[in-house]
Amino acid sequence: MLSGELYDASDKELTNERFQARLLLKELNDKRENEAEKIDQILKYLIPNKGKDLFIQTPFYCDYGSNIVVGDNVYFNFNCVVLDVMKVSIGSRTMMGPNVQIYTATHPINYKERATGLEFAKPITIGEDVWLGGNTVVCPGVSIGDRSVIGAGSVVTKDIPADVFAAGNPCKVIRKLEQ
């Protein structure tokens, strides 16, 4: 799975890992905001590769959690989804608006191959100081450069360079940002 090759998502080991993540997600999503210490303990198990001061406004959803690498001071607003079948790297001080969706998982284009139930994934890299507006979708294999801003409702299907404002479906660079 992590090599980018076709894999069977119904594999017993993978199914168990997702189940364990679901148990932690249920616990996380049921916590009150004033239970910060308990939330941090859950996040240590769910997202072991996290930096300091990760803030997740619940509800939050992911496949495994263990494939998410997060820098310091990262913020997820309500209802974000990270399908971390492959590595998802998120740089420090990055902000996700509500309903941001990050998808590493994908399926074969050929219908016969797709009918086998096998799937594959591509990694996603989001730089430091990035802001993803609400309802942004980041597709498999995409990189977003440092300090860029992605407008609300965008569908990011191709790499976005550093220091730009980009928006749309498909997401395109609108202008360079003066930093």
Region for residue 13 given its phi and psi (left: phi exceeds 0; alpha: psi -120 to 50; beta: otherwise): alpha
Instruction: Map out the domains of the chain with their CATH numbers.
Output: 7-172 (2.160.10.10)
The pLDDT assigned to 179 comes to 79
The pLDDT assigned to 14 comes to 96
Q: For 53-79, how does the pLDDT look when each residue is reduced to its tens digit (9 = 90+)?
A: 999 999 999 999 999 999 999 999 999
36-46 helix and 12-30 helix, angle to the nearest 10 degrees: 170
Whole-number percent of the chain with pLDDT over 90: 98
Single pTM value for the model: 0.95
Total Cβ atoms within 10 A of residue 36:
11
- Phi/psi for 13 (5° steps) reads -65, -45
Instruction: Indicate the SS3 state at residue 127.
Output: coil
Average predicted confidence (pLDDT) for the chain: 97
Strands (E), the chain: 7-8, 49-50, 55-56, 60-62, 68-70, 75-76, 80-83, 88-90, 95-96, 101-103, 105-106, 118-121, 124-126, 131-132, 137-138, 143-144, 149-150, 155-156, 164-167, 172-176
Q: For 114-135, how does the pLDDT look when each residue is reduced to its tens digit (9 = 90+)?
A: 999 999 999 999 999 999 999 9
Per-residue confidence at 38, pLDDT binned at 50, 70, 90?
very high
The pLDDT assigned to 128 comes to 98
Kindly name the residue from 107, 134, 161, 162 that is annotated as catalytic.
Answer: 107
Active site residue 107: yes
